[in-house]
Chains A and B, each alone.
Chain A
Amino acid sequence: DAMVIQNPRYQVTQFGKPVTLSCSQTLNHNVMYWYQQKSSQAPKLLFHYYDKDFNNEADTPDNFQSRRPNTSFCFLDIRSPGLGDAAMYLCATSRENSPLHFGNGTRLTVT
């Protein structure tokens, strides 16, 4: 089945230690998104790619970076995780005006 896959499902990192979360898709969608979601709050958009064009939200901290080496893969890099960065990170894809398709998320714990 075509889908959005996030790895790992659970990630533990230490305060200040860089961490990378990954997302892959078999839907061949040209738009990929990263959302941050804390304890049952609304998902908050961090950034998205339209093809190779990167769109950063104004309030996304510089600590968060992203890479999209090809259509299928997108990475979220957190350069120096703080305790406040503990959250569920959701990757989603879409094609122009189609709905978002989400992966199952990566729950990040910062110790």
Chain B
Amino acid sequence: GQQLNQSPQSMFIQEGEDVSMNCTSSSIFNTWLWYKQDPGEGPVLLIALYKAGELTSNGRLTAQFGITRKDSFLNISASIPSDVGIYFCAGRDPTSGTYKYIFGTGTRLKVLA
């Protein structure tokens, strides 16, 4: 089946640093979503992307839908301690015929104050 590979798997950064993570697919997706999940909670939507090349910001977060439609990245600028958590990308397969989203393997972020 399809897989979404996310990198890095985990990262430790200092407060105030910028963070970058990405997600790649073996096939084309027509929607990319980025979520943050805190321990014991459900994922919370950060950014949704619908068009190749689209660049969208949400506060300190910026995400882009890759031109090839097989990748997406998420940047966090000036990280703060509450950015800690697991970040997941999710993509929707346009050929599946259903509204099915596949999730990436996640990037665990730890911010050192």
Contact = CB atoms under 8 A, between A and B. Distances in A.
A99 B45 contact: yes
Interface in B37-68: 40-45, 48, 50
Contact of A100 (B50, B86, B90): B90
Given A40-B86, A55-B98, A97-B31, A104 B42 contact: yes
Interface string A17-59: 0000000000000010101000011111100101000010000
Contact of A40 (B31, B35, B99, B108): B108
B42 A50 contact: no
B99 A96 contact: yes
Most interface-central of B86, B92, B103, B108 (chain A CB within 10 A): B103
Interface of A: 4, 6, 31, 33, 35, 40-45, 48, 50, 55, 90, 92, 94, 96-97, 99-105, 107
Contacts of A4: 42
Nearest to B43: A102
Nearest to B48: A99
Contacts of B50: 97
A103 to B, nearest CB: 5
Interface string B80-111: 00000010101010000011111111101000
Given A40-B86, A42-B106, A43-B88, A105 B99 contact: no
B33 interface: yes
- Interface residues on chain B, size class: 20 to 34
30 contacts: A31-B99, A35-B103, A40-B106, A40-B108, A42-B4, A43-B88, A44-B103, A45-B100, A48-B98, A48-B100, A50-B99, A90-B42, A90-B43, A92-B42, A94-B99, A96-B99, A97-B50, A97-B92, A97-B99, A99-B31, A100-B43, A100-B45, A100-B90, A102-B43, A102-B44, A103-B42, A104-B42, A105-B40, A105-B42, A107-B40
A62 B45 CA distance: 31
B98 to A, nearest CB: 5
